[in-house]
Chains A and B, each alone.
Chain A
Amino acid sequence: MTASSLESGSRGAGNKVGTRNVLAKIWQQDGPGYMFLLPWLIGFFGLTVGPMVTSLYLSFTDFDLLTDPNWVGASNYVRMFTADPKFAAAMRVTFFFVIFSVPLKLAFALLVAMLLNRGLRGLPLYRAIFYLPSLLGTSVAIAILWRQLFAGDGLVNQFLANFGIDGPSWISNPRYSLWTLIVLSVWQFGSPMIIFLAGLRQIPQDMYEAASLDGASKFRQFYKITLPLLTPVVFFNAIVQTIEAFKSFTPAFVISGGTGAPINSTLFYTLYLYQEAFGFFRMGYASALAWFLLAMIAAFTAFSFLTSKYWVHYDD
């Protein structure tokens, strides 16, 4: 469209006042932009906002996929906290998983990032190798591989047998099953590691030189200089990884065969939600579970942001 045609179009619209004309004017000016946005808009409203709103409604009904939903008020939510021991189990498992896997993963990621940051030769190669598990991480294939590794006759036990250790069946023993999932999660330390590495690169070298002149040991330099200056990155990684951990599903599903076995020891929240929805067709209850998970994640994130001003150091 040429400049002159744009101008005459808008002048024409200005002569007749009215909503239609205003809309026409907007359309004339921005129409192509909205056309380009359309595929995303359809997806956003059709596949994200729509289902979300629907599920919020369903969480107050007894929907079972087959019959029409009936409004039941807050009884789904009440049931969660009063009459559902399995929900309590799922909460326990999920919190245990979050509380152990996130700090371990972050600590491990930071450790590797610091090793890689010491001016290693071939850094890009190592970075890629260490990042690989994160790429493969949540895939079904890796979960299956993990099951093979930690099975009773798996590679881990075969390896331990070399030293005369008779390892348990890690994944079918309720004492260890959740830990194998935590180890799997920690092993996927690649993406926080990359972010830590970028953060470490930002810390000026002369900060460490000044600290070493001040007599600070490497350890003191770490917790007085590195860690405080890295808190924005720690904060970011902690939030992202915690949300990931709350939402974690595939590994538990594959390793326990979708049951959360043994004795609900790997019954992740999302796994329980899945069972309720697609195992027992209690869609209304599953929707309530989903919304409660969202509320928990939101509460955690809000809490993190509120406390961040006490421990996160921002440079500006």
Chain B
Amino acid sequence: MAASVELKKIRKSYGDVEVIHGIDLMIEPGEFTVFVGPSGCGKSTLLRMIAGLEPITGGDMLIEGDRMNEVPAAKRGIAMVFQSYALYPHMSVYKNLSFGLETARAPKEEIERKVKRAAEILQIEPLLQRKPKALSGGQRQRVAIGRAITREPRLFLFDEPLSNLDAELRVQMRVEIAKLHNDLGNTMIYVTHDQIEAMTMADKIVVLSAGHIEQAGPPLELYNNPKNLFVAGFIGSPKMNFLKAKVEGQDAGSAKLAVAGSSLTFDRKVNASQGDEVTFGVRPEHITITEGSGKHFSTVTVDLVEHLGGQTIIYTTTPDGTAMTLALEGQREVPLGSQIETYIDTKRCHVFNAAGDVV
């Protein structure tokens, strides 16, 4: 069972304060959509409006084409996994899983069958008779997901379900949720402020900021072609380098930028006039120090080197005093304080105008 979700000019106000400013979004059946954005940008609010836990101030919310604004939460065919898990502490795991079905007065065999199936999927069968307090964080998380599964919803909602788990478990559960999505094939909407979770799990990422959508699309699309400074800075780790630049020259098929103390020629036109102040962006992993692997970029001073084993992160300063980070494959020995030459591929560089939009 998979449903499409459509948001049309969705708004939300608390009193006089509008926190969601007209969101348009189409989520295809079976899609795994991740809402990502900084704290307070309205991810939870948006999710809770879809769930029916928060009234929608304006616009339309459609599931499978049916308007849902006034439909009570229980009748929307959704299930939600809360950040706090919200397990019923006085009920056994079995009762937690069956509560919704019992409320709906489902036949006993059906309840048993569905609870058993959910428990199997999540491998929590040995825990069914325990109370939530006797479970570890990861087990609670599974029960919370199991509770969602037993409802057999057409739409799963997750609000930062992994943020209470330690790093290792988070990675493990991330994989399991992605697997669950593959197995069940339901439409899922997942809220997180962790861009790595977003990148690894999503079919579609929706980057939110201050109550509106900055960009929506497949993870690599956002990574490769961020529409603006916000998305460019938010997606990717370590963060994209932003350097002050100035348009020096422009002709039909190329542009010339003054950046980091050198002059850089682009093989494409930049949508700005000569003399404009712009921001030049390049990801740390797209800078190299090997001659011949791209255009010569800048001579930088090494401030700090971090060895991650598979990757070496180098923190440097450009001749005009701006910080720039490099992420090199493998293990590199670079002396602190030394000057190194850097090279880039201009096709993987981004230029943003004063308003922050890509040009």
Contact = CB atoms under 8 A, between A and B. Distances in A.
Interface of A: 204, 206-207, 209-216, 220, 224-225, 228-229, 313, 315-316
A213 B78 contact: yes
A316 B133 CA distance: 7
23 contacts: A204-B86, A206-B86, A207-B86, A210-B88, A210-B147, A211-B88, A211-B99, A212-B72, A213-B53, A213-B73, A213-B100, A214-B99, A214-B100, A214-B103, A215-B74, A215-B75, A216-B74, A216-B99, A224-B99, A225-B88, A229-B90, A313-B90, A315-B133
B302 interface: no
Contacts of A215: 74-75, 100, 103-104
Q: Is the interface of A mostly helix, strand, loop or mixed?
A: helix
Nearest to A205: B86
A289 B296 CA distance: 102
B104 A315 contact: no
Contacts of A204: 84, 86
Interface string B53-88: 100000000000000000011110011101010101
A204 B53 CA distance: 15
A315 B104 CA distance: 27
B10 interface: no
A207 B84 CA distance: 10
Nearest to A313: B90
Nearest to B81: A210
Nearest to B98: A214
Interface in B164-223: none
A228 B95 CA distance: 14
A212, A214, A315 interface centre (most CB from chain B within 10 Å): A214
B110 to A, nearest CB: 15
Nearest to A231: B90
A210 B80 contact: yes
Contacts of A216: 74, 99, 103
Contact of B74 (A212, A228, A229, A316): A212
A220 B75 CA distance: 16
B151 interface: yes
B51 interface: yes
B40 interface: no
Contacts of B75: 215
A113 to B, nearest CB: 19
Contacts of A224: 88, 99
B44 to A, nearest CB: 11
A315 B89 contact: yes
Given A214-B74, A214-B99, A209 B82 contact: yes
Contacts of A210: 80, 82, 86, 88, 147
B36 to A, nearest CB: 21
A213, A216, A313 interface centre (most CB from chain B within 10 Å): A213
A240 B345 CA distance: 78
A167 B195 CA distance: 74
The 10 closest A-B CB pairs, nearest first, are A215-B74, A214-B100, A206-B86, A210-B86, A313-B90, A228-B90, A215-B103, A216-B103, A206-B82, A213-B73
A273 to B, nearest CB: 41
Contacts of B52: 213
A313 B92 CA distance: 12
Nearest to B159: A206
B87 to A, nearest CB: 8
Interface string B120-157: 00000000000001000000000000010001000000
Nearest to B76: A213
Contacts of A207: 86, 88
Contacts of A315: 89, 133
Contact of A313 (B78, B79, B80, B89): B89
Given A210-B82, A213-B73, A213-B80, 4 more contacts: A207-B86, A213-B51, A216-B103, A224-B99
Contacts of B99: 211, 214, 216, 224
Contact of A212 (B53, B82, B147): B53
A235 to B, nearest CB: 14
B76 to A, nearest CB: 9
B111 to A, nearest CB: 13
Contacts of A206: 82, 84, 86
B237 to A, nearest CB: 30
Nearest to B78: A213
B96 to A, nearest CB: 9
A285 to B, nearest CB: 48
A74 B136 CA distance: 58
A210 B52 CA distance: 11
A229 B89 CA distance: 8
Contact of B151 (A209, A212, A214, A228): A214
A121 to B, nearest CB: 13
Contacts of A316: 133
Given A220-B103, A224-B99, A213 B88 contact: no
Interface string B99-110: 110011000000
A225 B86 CA distance: 12
Nearest to A221: B103
A206 B82 CA distance: 8
B194 to A, nearest CB: 21
A214 to B, nearest CB: 4
A209 B90 CA distance: 16
A211 B133 CA distance: 19
Contacts of A229: 89-90
B61 to A, nearest CB: 16
A312 to B, nearest CB: 10
A209 B86 contact: yes
Contacts of A225: 88
